[in-house]
Structure 1
Amino acid sequence: MTSTTIPSSEELLAALDDDQRAVAQHLTGPLCVLAGAGTGKTRAITYRIAHGVRSGAYNPTAVLAVTFTARAAGEMRSRLRDLGVGGVQARTFHAAALRQLSYFWPAAIGGGVPKVQEHKAPLVAEASSRLGLAVDRVSIRDLAAEIEWAKVSLVTAEDYVARAAAAGREGAPAGQDRATVARLLELYEDVKTERGVIDFEDVLLLTVGILEERADVAAEVRRQYRHFVVDEYQDVSPLQQRLLDLWLGERSELCVVGDVSQTIYSFTGASPRFLTDFSRRFPGAAVVRLVRDYRSTPQVVSLANQVLERAGRHRSSAAVHLQAQRPSGPAVRFEAFDDDVAEAAGVAAQIARLEKGGVPRHEIAVLYRTNGQAEAVEQALAQAGISYLVRGGERFFSRREVREAVVLLRGAARSAAGQPMPEAVRDVLGTVGWSADPPSARGAVRERWESLQALVALADDLAATRDADLPGLVAELEERAAVQHAPTVSGVTLASLHAAKGLEWDAVFLIGVSEGLLPISLAETEDAVAEERRLLYVGITRAREHLMLSYARARTVGGRASRKPSRFLDGLWPDGERGRRRPAARTSGRDRLAEVAASDPEGAELVGRLRAWRDQVATATGKPRHSVLHDTTLAAIAEARPKDLRQLGFLRGVGAAKLEAYGPAVLAIVRGEEVLVDPPGA
């Protein structure tokens, strides 16, 4: 980037909205940013850092920005480079801690840092065997998750039983009592010590230990880093917060960004209380709310807001009410199907229609609560000839087929002999299972092909955009592997709601939005149900334009139709759905009009003029009155009294077609102007 392309501080600030600018201009002291989904929080904090560097308030090498995923850290570094800011450290908690641990370990402890064990399963299996437990793969996974919760929550084996009960952990995992899990915690640590390895939580714990015990090390870290930014602060665990406190020392140069409405990882030890209590921990801290949603249409934003508003007392005062900034889009679809197979087929059919209408496959996602729901969708998409990618499993560059492919490509790069790079890649990957056409099989075979196809597609992109050769592709892959930046696969994304957090697509299908799945039947406490509601909110806010929510009345073909829509959609699911859970006192559109008319004389007059205009339009066009604008929509117009098309488009029942057909007339009526409707045949 040349100096002429680097924006000045004034240009940086001018590119932000008022709320984002307030974030960027607050360069010193504690700052809490409550940022709703799609409100440009990454933009706000990267511009804040860039403005701080450009204005001379920050030395870039003294800034540490902490995120929760390598992908988010890579995105932040990329954005800062685009703004002409280098030297800022943007890392995950674990990456930042491991870097410090590796640097200070030889002097503080001696020798080299033990190897980090990537997966807990072998260690948990050994500890379980020593305890005489009969465990399978699922039990090992559950026990490993409980060990992780204990460590990030700073819970030791000695106090596990009491702390787990106090935390409301719903019984011990894998059918074991809490005393047995406490003993397993001890044996797990013994196994690690014997093997000379540490796990990911140990990276944080050991860094904390060194900073607490070595004042000289803590002082050196604090001299290095003077300004801290923490993204997704609602997901911070007690262990991560302890590390952050040690980095800070007695200082308060801290900016945190979070959204309590996206707290969906409390089962892993994440706690939103650090975000909600920020002002108490830092008296006088500035608090800025980002509420302008630039991602989703008003229809999507409205549904997201309504889902949260129905949370009642479980809705945090720190939650933001989103304000849509995009033009009006298609209405949110609600569909009920007879069974899971029919639901999957219906989704596949809708995806085909979207693709025919110009929405690319990689901009479409199917989201679900449990991974088991994906099987029917995979089968339906395969039968429809629609490529897809299952997200949320093993990391891309850790997959065996990807590692094998990179080794083969590296070898081929050493002896490349003039063959065009895309052809060379196809020849190499063809030896390990890639083919021009996707396999008809599902599951592991399909996922292996999708991995190799992603490498082929990346090769094509690099050849087209950079004129890259095979060594250039290998270098790109090695750089991407270092930051876990997986290539994009041209297919529909299938992902759990948890795995979808932080991502977005043009079109999103939320399947299985029924009682027992969302909220899941395992959510037995009020807090657990509240988190399930937030999970639905996260799913909804992944959609930019197209959104469909669906459920199946029965699980199997011909099965008993016992399922009902999720309680989170009470009052939101359209009328007429069999078995829909209705609120106790639902107000009809006609009654709502009467309420608005009775509220004040001006409201009554506006309601009368709107109804008279609608009657004239219905007569002139031969349409039923409700198909012009429904009573509830007229009530919303009379109540909101929009001043322009943008405000009118926010209202429920005003889609793009109606906004174009009736918008100017409606606004004229709201302004008190006379509107003439051409008679039939004119």
Structure 2
Amino acid sequence: MDADALIADLDADQRAAVTAESHLVAVIAGAGSGKTRVLTRRIAWRVATEKADARHTLALTFTREAAGELRRRLSFLGMRDRVEAGTFHSVMLAVLRQRWDDTNRRPRTVVPDRRRLVGDVLDGSQRRGIDGLLGEIDWATARGIRASDYAGRARRAQRSPSAGVERAAAVFNDFEQLKRKRGIIDFDDVLSLVITEMEYDTGFADGLRWRFRHLLVDEAQDLNPLQHRLVDLLRAGRDDLFIVGDPAQAIYGFNGADPTLLVDVERRFPGVEVVRLPVNHRCTPQIVRTGVQVLAAAEQPTQLVSNRGDGPVVERLAGDDEDAEARLVAGSIVRLDPNLIRSGSVAVLARTNAQLAAFGTALGSLGIAVRRSATASGTPLQVAVRQASMLGSASQLRAWAHDMLDAHDALLTVQAEQAISHEGIDRRATAQADRAVDELEAERRVATVLLDYLRDQQLGDGAGFRSWVAMTNPFDDRSTDGVDLLTFHASKGREWHAVYVTGVETSLVPHKSATTAVTRAEEGRLLYVAATRASDRLTLSWAERRGGYARKPSPFINDLDLSEPEAMPPPASLRRRRAKIDPLLAALQEWRDNAARKADVLPTQLCSDRDVKAIAANKPTTVAELAAATSFGTIMAQRLSEQILPLVAQSKSTITGA
């Protein structure tokens, strides 16, 4: 890898973060500021400059999708040695299983379906209060609190479970005894057991620190106290730690996440070098300003600016009731460029899953497909195919497929079930809950199909697999077109060209369950996260009545200033120059810029200026014509045709219509 090339396309702040001389670095990365780019470039740059060893590097994140994206980007950057990248639980489960094997201990079965286990210690009449009891056990385990210590800690924290502290303590104790009796552990025990092993066996702890001597943590604002403790143990004696996060995107307080880690980072990590990324490269200034104003209304000021040119004004829609709101949103979507819908670049976001059904109905009545609900298999399937397509040989493809099938065993299936059981309008709804089943199913499907491809083809590479998928449609999916429907939580980490943030009204935003200053502040951050998922177009909507009750716009948007400064008309010479711009060329350049940003490459690396101009001049309508007009080659033309040819067709229809 060329160290200089790794930082050539970074802005000044990103470059400072990647090349920081300190081994202890905290990056405060605002929404859209390129945190994943910085994290992967930091790993690659340190390896390229021989400041770190890839084989001893560990990158921890919170979702398998994020971990897969880290691995994909590192591979694209030219990393030859494998970096350990995964979720806290998946990496530590592998460590724990190896520990059991090394110490000749019988492995304990991991059964993360906590709800079922708690239900087993309750009689029928008590099970109606299971959610509250689960909440208390979740709260305690996220903080490493044992059942014997729960009552005292809960009182000090002023917990008030509906069943009472003593009853919750008794259920917690019975739950722990049941696990010991059955010889099982639940999912959160994985981290606490690794921590216990490290605290009581210095040799084991030193071995882990030697193995994972370069530690990086993504989404650090989401760390709960148990994960904090694990990070502290792993970095002890070395302080070779690189953390990236954004306090303004801390939305998992129900899981014990503490955003003050990054707010007070210099106190928490004495001697840390702090680098801030205040420039948003994703959103227009109008969208960034809206997000900043939302945070200000929630009394959480932040400094974030956009480096993009002006975009459309942020729109607001108000319906008489929830059905009218859905019709207004659907009516707005149907007027968008059809290519945005075909490419999955439009999303409708809601605070709760219960709100989404009305939007699905309204969109369907206008003939607009819904590409993704909370448990559909759209984007995760595409992500998994893209991961496989980056591999260069049949042996690598086969190894990847078996890794996927081996890694996603019953543990993760139950994990997804557990997450979904916690989902709804309560505060435990998370992005992991909405995506876990999708990701698991997608990776298994792709791995299975990939093995079929290798059996049929005997030889092949990732690019060939991608082309084969496009030609054969082995997943039997009728279409990937349509609008995404997701909750605010599930949207984190994703982006769309146009986003409709709905139900921005009292009782929903902030949610009625947010009864304290802390939880209301988190609701403000949640709205900020949802709004900044849009790159170019943002619409806020609400209902004046919902469920028969009057509603008002959310206090987070009461004072929202969406006005635009009056613009001076451009000089006549510039107006004449603009009139001569080829609309297809402009559309192709916009596509290239957006696609390159998502792929974390330079626009010219994705598609040269010469090829862009050749496409605009020749207006190809088939893959063969696209390949002939450019330097792509057949495989690359096949891969890019689904994005380029619709732009050409749209330009032709516009000319015909004119």
Question: With structure 1 as the length reference, what TM-score do the two structures score?
Answer: 0.67
Q: Indicate yes or no: 2:291 matched with 1:304.
A: yes
Does the alignment pair 1:180 with 2:171? no
Match among 187, 190, 195 for residue 200 of structure 1: 187
Q: What whole-Å deviation, never above 9, does each CA across 1:501-548 have from its counterpart, x for those lacking one?
A: 111111111111001110111211111111111111010011111111
- Which residue identity does 1:9 align to in structure 2? A
Runs of 4+ in 1 over 6 A off after TM superposition: 394-399, 470-473
Once residues 215 and 58 of structure 2 are traced to their aligned partners in structure 1, the CA distance between those partners, rounded to angstroms, is: 5
1:307-326 residue pairs with structure 2 within 5 A? 307-312=294-299, 314-315=300-301, 320-326=302-308
Residue type at the aligned position of 1:35: A
The aligned residue for residue 254 of structure 1 is 241
Correspondence for 1:334: 316
Measured against aligned partners, the alpha-carbon deviations of 1:100-148 in whole angstroms (never above 9, x if no partner) come to 111111234x33421211322210110222xx65324xx4345334322
1:373 aligns with 2:368: no
SS of 1:135's equivalent in the other structure is: helix
Deviation at 1:396, TM superposition (A): 9.4
Q: Distance in 2 between matches of 1:564 and 1:329?
A: 28
Q: Deviation digits for residues 166-221 of structure 1, max 9, x if unmatched?
A: 4454x31xx32222111111111122222322111111011111111111111111
- Report sequence identity in percent: 39
* Contact 1:363 1:492 survives alignment (8 Å): yes
Q: Give the C-alpha shift of residue 291 in structure 1.
A: 1.2
C-alpha distance after superposition, 1:395-439 (max 9, x if no partner): 99999xxxxxxxxxxxxxxxxxxxxxxxxxxxxxxxxxxxxxxxx
1:223–1:549 CA distance, 2 compared to 1 (3 A):
same
What CA distance in whole angstroms lies between the structure 1 residues aligned with 2:77 and 2:365?
A: 46
Which amino acid in structure 1 is aligned with residue 256 of structure 2?
Answer: G
The alpha carbon displacement at 1:356 in A equals 2.8
Counterpart amino acid of residue 146 in structure 2: T
Q: 1:224 aligns with which of 211, 231, 235?
A: 211
Change in CA separation of 1:361 and 1:395 when aligned onto 2, cut-off 3 Å: closer
Structure 1 residues 472 and 298: alpha-carbon distance in aligned structure 2, compared to 1, 3 A threshold: farther
Letter in 2 for 1:239: L
CA change 1:184–1:391 in 2 (3 A) is farther
**Which amino acid is the alignment partner of residue 140 of structure 1?**
I
Structure 2 partner of 1:189: 176
2:273 to 283, 286, 294: 286
1:195 alignment partner AA: R
Query: 1:42·1:76 contact (CA, 8 Å) conserved in 2?
Result: yes
Structure 1 counterpart SS, 2:500: strand
Matched, 1:39 2:33: yes
User: In the alignment, residue 565 of structure 1 is paired with which amino acid?
Assistant: P
Q: Determine the C-alpha separation between the residues in 1 that align with 2:508 and 2:482.
A: 26
Aligned residue runs from structure 1 range 15-414, under 5 A: 15-85=9-79, 86-108=81-103, 110-129=104-123, 133-136=125-128, 139-167=129-157, 169=159, 171-172=160-161, 175-312=162-299, 314-315=300-301, 320-356=302-338, 358-360=340-342, 362-393=344-375
Q: Give the CA deviation at 1:160.
A: 2.4
Contact (CA 8 Å) 1:359, 1:506: kept in 2 or not? Answer: no
Residue aligned with 2:367, SS: coil
Q: Aligned letter for 1:101?
A: L
Name the residue aligned to 2:536.
545
Letter in 1 for 2:500: F
- 2:595 maps to none
Contact persistence 2:22–2:273 (CA under 8 A): no
Q: 1 CA distance for matches of 2:116 and 2:457? A: 37
Query: Quick check: 97-106 or 140-149, which moved more?
Result: 140-149
Change (3 A) 1:84 1:378: same
Seen in structure 2, the aligned counterparts of structure 1 residues 166 and 534 have a Cα distance that, compared at 3 Å, is farther
Q: Distance in 2 between matches of 1:357 and 1:397?
A: 17
Q: Assess, with a 3 A threshold, how the Cα gap between structure 1 residues 239 and 489 changes in structure 2: closer, same or farther.
A: farther
Alignment of 1:572 with 2:566, yes or no, is no
For 1:394 and 1:114, the matched residues in 2 are separated by: 33
Q: 1:223 to 1:285 in 2, by over 3 A?
A: same
The CA distance in 1 between the partners of 2:482 and 2:350, in whole Å, is 17
Q: For residue 566 of structure 1, give the secondary structure of its aligned residue in structure 2.
A: coil
Unaligned runs of 5+ in 2: 382-433, 467-476, 573-658
Give the AA of the match of 2:251: I
Helix, strand or coil at the partner of 1:547:
strand
Task: Work out the CA distance in 2 between the residues paired with 1:105 and 1:397.
Answer: 37
| TM-aligned CA distance change 1:250 to 1:519, over 3 Å | same
Deviation at 1:311, TM superposition (A): 3.0
Q: Flag the 1:168–1:381 CA change in 2: closer, same or farther, 3 A.
A: farther
Aligned-partner Cα distance in 1 for 2:71–2:7:
19
How does the TM-score come out when normalised to structure 2?
0.69
CA distance in 1, matches of 2:17, 2:532: 23
| Cα distance, 1:61 vs structure 2 | 0.7
CA distance change for structure 1 residues 15 and 573 in 2, over 3 Å: closer, same or farther?
A: closer
Task: Give the distance between the partners of 2:561 and 2:278, measured in 1 at CA.
Answer: 25
In structure 1, distance between residues paired with 2:310 and 2:505: 28
Q: CA deviation at 1:28?
A: 3.8
SS for the counterpart of 2:239 is coil
Structure 1 position 293, deviation (Å): 0.7
Q: Relative to structure 1, is the Cα distance of residues 212 and 101 closer, same or farther in structure 2, using a 3 angstrom cutoff?
A: same
C-alpha deviations, 1:201-258, integer Å up to 9, x for none? 1110111111111111111111112111101101101111111111122221111111
Letter of the 2:194 partner, please give it.
T
Q: Cα distance 1:124–1:180, how it changes in 2: closer, same or farther (>3 A)? A: same
Query: 1:371 Cα shift?
Result: 1.6
Shift of 1:375: 2.0
Q: Give 2:145's aligned amino acid.
A: V
**Per-residue Cα deviation, 1:317-354 (whole angstroms, up to 9, x for no partner):** xxx41111222211111111100011111112222222
Return the index of the structure with the highest Cα Rg: 1
Structure 1 SS opposite 2:237:
coil
In 2, the alpha carbon distance for the partners of 1:222 and 1:522 equals: 42
Pair 489,207 (structure 1): closer, same or farther in 2 beyond 3 Å: farther
Contact 1:27 1:48 in 2 (8 A): no
* Whole-Å separation in 2 of the counterparts to 1:365 and 1:199: 35
Q: 1:240 to 1:396 in 2, by over 3 A?
A: farther
Task: Name the amino acid aligned to 2:133.
Answer: L
- The residue correspondences of 1:613-632 to structure 2 (distance < 5 A) are none
Alignment of 1:527-566 (within 5 A): 527-556=518-547, 559=548, 562-566=550-554
Whichever residue aligns with residue 164 of structure 1, its letter is A
* Aligned equivalent of 1:413: none
Residues 340 and 497 in structure 2, CA contact (< 8 A), matched pair in contact too: no
- Per-residue deviation, residues 558-612 of structure 1 (Å, max 9, x unmatched): x46x21100001211779xxxxxxxxxxxxx9xxx9xxxxxxxxxxxxxxxx99x
Query: Which whole-Å CA distance do the structure 2 matches of 1:532 and 1:165 have between them?
Result: 25
Residue pairs, 1:628-639, within 5 angstroms: none
Q: Are the counterparts in 1 of residues 378 and 480 from structure 2 also a CA contact under 8 Å? A: no
Residue 120 of structure 2 aligns with an amino acid whose one-letter code is E
**1:624 equivalent in structure 2:** none
SS of the residue 2:271 aligns to: coil
Alpha-carbon contact 2:341-2:483 (below 8 Å) kept: no
CA contact (8 A) 2:58 2:216 kept: yes
Three-state SS of the structure 1 residue aligned to 2:344 is helix
* In 2, Cα distance between equivalents of 1:334 and 1:468: 53
Secondary structure of 1:288's counterpart equals: strand
Letter in 1 for 2:195: V
- Give me the whole-angstrom Cα distance separating, in 2, the residues matched to 1:236 and 1:555: 35
The gaps in structure 1 that reach 5 residues or longer are: 1-6, 400-446, 478-486, 576-588, 594-609, 618-682
